[in-house]
Amino acid sequence: MNRHLPILLSSLLAIAASASAEEPLAKLTAPAPNSPAEPLAKQMSVAKAVDFIDRASLHWQRSRKCVTCHTNGAYLMARARLKADPAPHISVRKFFEQYVDGWTEKKPDSEGIVATASALAMDDAARGKLTDTTRTAFDEAWKLQRSDGSWDWLKCGWGPFESDDHYGVTLAAIAAAKAPGDYAQTGQA
């Protein structure tokens, strides 16, 4: 029995650490709605900005269950370079990876694929290595690219993200150029 005790204790500690790492994320609340009456800060606070975008992105993915250019997509493009608790960033990254994995059953529209590939590529750029998930997402994006170089993009009047086909092309071009391993120079790009 004593020889199994170290294994049992190690397992319990690993479970406890995993649960305690997820617990703070579960308790994060959505940011309050913007209001013209809210007071302005006396000075810029990167820590407060990071807290806000962490909460906004986690709330978006939990409530909407999708990837967007204007919320968790923009978040993933920048968050790896910000020094703060990595748990929210890891959670959003994992959501994106699971989103891509789900494409085997149901693919989103082209803007969802391009936005996902682009956000993953810019996150990979901060990490220095292009992941297989990002390659898969880019491969799907290139399959949907039209002969003029654009994608059929959502046009719901939310400029600049969802107002014309130009934004998707720009986003994909920047992401391919930023992707690690000279991805933009490969035959896939």
The DSSP 8-state label assigned to residue 162 in this structure reads: B
Q: How far apart are CA 103 and CA 114, in angstroms?
A: 13
Report pLDDT digits (tens) over 92-127.
999 999 999 999 999 999 999 999 999 999 999 999
pTM over 0.85: no
pLDDT at 6 > cutoff 90: no
Question: b or e along 43-60 (b: 16 or more beta carbons within 10 Å of the residue's beta carbon)?
Answer: eeeeeeebbebbbbbbbb
38-to-33, 34, 137 alpha-carbon distances in Å = 10, 8, 40
**Residue 158, SS3?**
strand
Radius of gyration of the chain (CA): 19
